[in-house]
Structure 1
Amino acid sequence: MRKFRTAGTAAATAAALALTVAACSSDDGSDDPGTSTKGATTIDVWLMRDSISDAFQQEFVAGFEQAHPDVKVDVQVQEWEGIGQKIISALASDDAPDVIEVGNTQVAQYAASGGLTDLSDKVSDLGGSDWIPGLAEPGKIDGKQYGIPYYAANRVVLYNKDLFAKAGITSPPTTRDAWLQDTTKLNAGGNQGIYLAGQNWYTYAGFLWDEGGDLATQDGDTWTGGLDTPAAAAAIDFYGKLQKLGKGPKDADEQHPPQIDVFAGGKVAQMIATPGAAAQVTAANAAMKDKIGFFPIPGKTADEPGAVFTGGSDLVIPTAAAHPDQAYTFIKELAGDDWQKKLAVAMSYVPNKTTLASALAGDPGAAAMAAGAANGHATPNSPNWAAVEANNPIKNYMTQVLTGADPAVAGKAASDSIAKTLNASS
C-alpha cells in the first residue's frame, strides 16, 4: 500500500545528499547542456518511488515526448527516505532538476528556502478553481502558489459486508449519529463494531475540522495551538464515543498492533484506513476477499462527508531549473484532465480536481475516497510542522483524555507544545 507522505526528513549520508546530474552533449555545436544530439531539450524530473507504476510512467513519458518532440524527459526516481534534505540541497544549488514531486505537506518547508518558482499566474490556466483543497491549500504559501496538485489519497471506512448484513444494516451510514447507532448494532455475537486505536490522530483531526477547529492557527507570524478549544473538546468527545465501541488500545496508534491484522481476523466490522488496505487484509486472510466494502467517513450531516486529511503529492519547479518553460509544459500535461483520469484509474488515486471524481466510478474504494476528498484538509502550513509530528503531542493529548484527563488541561499542554515548535526559528 502506498503510504501517505507528510512533512519530515530523516538523517542522510553525504552520499545521499550528493546530486549527480548528467549533462547532455550536442553534436550540432550547441553550448546548451540541456540540448540533445537531435536538438531537443532534455528536462530532469524527480518523481518519488512507488508514486506511480513503471508502466504508467513509461506511458506518460512516451505520450508527452510524442506530443512535444522538442522535449525529452529524464525521470530520476527518488527514495522518500532522506528526500527532504536532498531537495533542500538541490534548491540551494545551481544544478537543480526542472520538476520535483514533493509531499503536499512539504511544500511550506521548501518554499521557506526561497528555491521554488511562484506559479500563481498559472493557476487559472491549470483550472485551479477545481483543485481539491487538501492539495491546493498546502501548495499555497503566503498567498503564492508554489505547488501544483498532482494526486491525492485519504482515509475511508472499510467495512465487513457479512457483519453489516448480519446486523441488518443494508446501507452504510452517512451521518455521525447514524454511524454511532450502526456501530453499536455491530457490537454483537462477539464482534467489534469498529477497531479504532486511541492515537489515530489523522482521524481525530478530521473530527476537529468538522467542528470548525484546527490543529493550529496562524495570526501574522505567530502560531497558536488549537487543542484547548471548544471545537477540540467536541471532537475528542465524539472520537471517544466511537473508540469505545471497539477494543482498540487507548495508548497506541493504528500500527500497534497493526489494525490490518486485527480487521483480517473477520470479527471486526469497521476500520479507518486508505482503500489500499483492503489488499493487505486479503493478503493476510484470503477468506476476506469480496467481503470488504467502503464508505466515506460520515459527516455531522448527510449533506457533506466527514473531513479527512489529504495525503499526496504536488509538483514544483525550482527557481534554479534550467528549463522552466518546458518544466511547466510537463506539469500542465501531467496535472491536466486527460492524464489525471488515466492516473486515477491506473493507481486508484484521487485526481487533483473535484470535477474528475467520476473517473473512479468503477473502483468502489477509490470512489469512496474521492467523495471524501471533497472535504479534504491538510496539516498546518508551516515548515516546522514536521517537528511537531516528530514529538506528536496530539497523540499524548488523545490518550490522556481517553483515559480520564480533563480535556481542557490536556489540550492546553498540547497546544502550548505545538505553538512552541511552530514558533521556533526555522
Structure 2
Amino acid sequence: MKIRFIAGSAALAATLAVTACGSSSDSAGGPEKLTVWIMKDSVTEDFLTRFTEDFERRHQDLSLDIQIQEWDGIGEKVTAALASTDAPDVIEVGNTQVAQYAASGGVRDLTDRTEELSGADWLPGLAEPGKIDGKQYGIPWYAANRVVLYHKGHFAKAGIASPPATQDAWIEDTAKLNRGDVQGIYLPGQNWYTLAGFIWDEGGDLAARSGDGWKGTLDTREAIAGMDFYRRLQALGKGPKDSDEAKPPQAEVFAQGDVAQIISVPGGAKLIEETNPALKGKIGFFPVPGKAVGTPGAVLTGGSDLIVPEASAHQDGAYEVIKALAGDTWQTDMARTMSYVPNRTSLAGAVQDSEGTAAMAAGAARGRATPNSPQWAAVEATNPIKQYMTAVLTGADPTKAAREASGSITRTLGS
C-alpha cells in the first residue's frame, strides 16, 4: 500500500506525457498495481488507509498506489495524463470538469456500468455533468452544497419558531429578522452560485444548448425572475453589491454576531465558531427554501466524479476501484468521516445525525451543476454573471443587463 503526495506543477504535467505514472511497473507474478489520483484534502489519510487495506484484502490480485494531487495546476496535469500512453488508472476530478476532459477523447465511456452502480439513484448534480452526449464518463463520488446557516438567538427574538419552508416564508421571516442592528441576511451581491439555484427554481438556466453549440440564457423570463428574487432577498441585509462571499469572508461577518443568516456550506459554522467561540452551539442549519412546502430549493452541487483514462493499462481493475468507492460501504463511511453528501439519494440517512450535513443532503436531492460545456471554465474566468448581478442590484435595467451578460456567455462558449 502506498499513499504519496505529488506536486502539481506545470513542469511535472508536461513530463507525464512521456513518462510512466506508475501503473507499468508491476512486478512479474505479483499483483497488478493500480495508480489512483486523489485530490488533496478530499478525504483524510486515515480514510484512504482503511479503504486501501480493505480493497487489497478483497482483491488479492490488485494493489493500490494512491497519489495525492495538489489542486494548483491539476487541469494541465490531468490533460497531459489523458494524452499520455501510460495514464493513471483512476482519477478524481471536479464534477464540472468532466466535460472538459471528455472533450479530449481520453476518458473511458462507462455507460454500460451505470446500472450496476445504481445510476438511477445518483444525485443529479453529480451524474448530469458526468454525462456528455448521452454517455456517462464521470462516476459520482461525493457531493457538497450550500445551506442556510442561521443564528438561533436572533430567530428566537424575532418569534420565529422554525426555519422557513418556502421562498415566500423566507422573505417574510428575513424581513422580521432585519431590525435594529441585526441584518436579516448577509448576502453579497455577486454570489452567483446562489443565484443559479434561484434561476433553476424558476425553470431557467445559465446557458443552454443551441444547435451544435451553446448560448447564454440569463435573458429568459425565468432567469430574470430568479434574479429578481435574489434582489429582493439581498435587499434585506447589508451585503456589498459589488463583491462575493470571499470579500470580505462572510464567516467573519457572521462571527460579529449581528447577522441572522448566511448561505454557506455547513463547514462555514466551524470557521465562525473559531472566530467567535461565543457562538458555539448557537448556529442552526436548514436547506435553501424552494417555491413549495416539502420541496427544497435547487442548489449548485459541488463535489467530485471518478474517471478512467482510455490509456489505463488496467481497465478492469480501475473499475473495481470505482465500484468500491462508489458503493454502499465506502459511501457511508466517507459521508460520516468527511460530512459529505453520499452519491445516492437513498444513502442520505447516513448523515442524519449531523444537522448541517442532513440539511445539505436534503438540498442535494435537487442539486444541479453548471452547464456541461467544455468551455464553461472560460465563462467562470471572466464571469459576466457577477457583473450582471452587480448591475441589477445597483439600478440597471434587468432585461438589458441580462441580454448583455447572455451575449458574453454565448461568445465565450462558442470560442
Specify the TM-score bucket, using the shorter chain as the normaliser: over 0.9
Measured against aligned partners, the alpha-carbon deviations of 1:210-267 in whole angstroms (never above 9, x if no partner) come to 0000000003312111111111211111101100100001111111111111001111
Distance in 2 separating the partners of 1:379 and 1:168 = 38
- Map of 2:101 onto structure 1: 110
Q: Is the 8 A contact 1:211 1:235 kept in 2?
A: yes
Q: Deviations over 1:376-410 (max 9, x none)?
A: 00001011000000000000100101111111100
**Whole-angstrom distance in 1 between the partners of 2:28 and 2:169:** 65
Deviations 1:258-314 (A, max 9, x none): 111100111100000000111111111111110110000000111310000000000
Does 2:345 correspond to 1:348?
no
**Greater shift in the superposed pair: 12-21 or 212-221:** 12-21
Which residues in structure 2 correspond to 1:64-103 (within 5 Å)? Answer: 64-103=55-94
Q: How is 1:272-351 mapped onto 2 (pairs within 5 angstroms)?
A: 272-351=263-342
2:130 partner letter = G
1:56-115: CA deviation from partner (whole Å, max 9, x where unpaired): 111111111111111100000001111001000000010100000000000000000000
Q: Secondary structure at the match of 1:113?
A: coil
31, 38, 44: which one pairs with 1:40?
31
Residue identity opposite 1:327 in structure 2? A
Q: Does 1:223 align with 2:214?
A: yes
Q: What CA distance in whole angstroms lies between the structure 2 residues aligned with 1:161 and 1:249? A: 24
Q: TM-score, normalised to structure 2's length?
A: 0.96
From 162, 178, 181, the counterpart of 1:190: 181
SS in 1 for 2:218: coil
Deviation of 1:359 after TM superposition, in Å, equals 0.3
Partner of 1:255: helix, strand, or coil? Answer: coil
Confirm whether residue 181 of structure 1 aligns to residue 178 of structure 2.
no
Displacement of 1:45: 0.3
Establish whether residue 171 from structure 1 lines up as the match of residue 167 from structure 2: no
**CA distance in 2: counterparts of 1:81 and 1:119, whole angstroms:** 28
Aligned-partner Cα distance in 2 for 1:12–1:76:
14
Aligned to 2:15: 18
* Distance across 1 between alignment mates of 2:20 and 2:68: 13
1:352, distance to aligned residue in structure 2 (A)? 0.1
Residues 170-207 of structure 1: per-residue CA shift (max 9 Å, x gap): 11001001001110111123100000000000000000
3-state SS of paired residue (1:342): helix
1:235 and 2:232 are equivalent in the alignment = no
Task: Write the letter of the residue equivalent to 1:18.
Answer: T
Secondary structure of 1:39 counterpart: coil
Which residue of structure 2 lines up, in the alignment, with residue 413 of structure 1?
Answer: 404
Q: TM-score, normalised by structure 1?
A: 0.93
Measure how far apart 1:17 and its partner are: 3.5
Q: Which one-letter code corresponds to 2:340 in the other structure?
A: Y
Contact 2:36/2:67 (<8 A) preserved: yes
Cα distance in 2, alignment partners of residues 44 and 325 from structure 1: 13
Q: 2:279 and 2:178 mapped to 1: Cα distance?
A: 19
Seen in structure 2, the aligned counterparts of structure 1 residues 22 and 302 have a Cα distance that, compared at 3 Å, is closer
The 3-state SS of whatever aligns with 1:157 is strand
The residue that corresponds to 1:5 in the other structure is none
- Once residues 47 and 242 of structure 2 are traced to their aligned partners in structure 1, the CA distance between those partners, rounded to angstroms, is 41
TM-aligned CA distance change 1:288 to 1:156, over 3 Å: same
Map of 2:192 onto structure 1: 201
CA distance in 2, matches of 1:408, 1:18: 49
The structure 2 residue matched to 1:264, chosen from 242, 255, 263, is 255
Separation in structure 2 between the aligned mates of residue 75 and residue 97 of structure 1, nearest angstrom? 10
2:90 paired with 1:119: no
The letter of the residue matching 2:11 is A
Find the aligned partners of 1:74 and 1:246 in 2 and give their Cα distance: 50
How many residues end up aligned between the 2 structures? 406
Does residue 1:250 correspond to 2:241, yes or no?
yes
User: Residues 84 and 23 (structure 1 numbering): CA distance in 2 closer, same or farther, change over 3 Å?
Assistant: closer
Q: Where does residue 54 of structure 2 map in the other structure? A: 63
Separation in structure 1 between the aligned mates of residue 25 and residue 322 of structure 2, nearest angstrom:
18
**How well do the aligned residues superpose, as a CA RMSD in angstroms?**
1.3
- Give me the whole-angstrom Cα distance separating, in 2, the residues matched to 1:182 and 1:22: 55
Deviates further, 236-245 or 184-193: 184-193
Task: Tell me how far apart the structure 2 counterparts of residues 355 and 267 of structure 1 sit (CA, whole Å).
Answer: 38
Pick aligned residue for 1:360 from 347, 351, 358: 351
- Report the 3-state secondary structure (helix = DSSP H, G, I; strand = E; otherwise coil) of the residue aligned with 2:129: coil
Paired with 2:104 and 2:224, the residues of 1 have a C-alpha distance of 36
Cα distance, 1:34 vs. partner?
4.7
Residues 150 and 334, structure 1, Cα contact 8 Å, conserved in 2 = yes
Amino acid at match of 1:14: A
Q: Which residue among 139, 150, 153 is the counterpart of 2:130?
A: 139
Residue 392 of structure 2: aligned partner:
401
Q: Counterpart of 1:137 in 2: which secondary structure?
A: helix
Contact kept in structure 2, 1:34 and 1:43, CA below 8 Å: no
Q: Secondary structure at the match of 1:138?
A: helix
Q: Which runs of 5+ in 2 are unaligned?
A: 1-7
Query: Percent identity among equivalent residues?
Result: 63
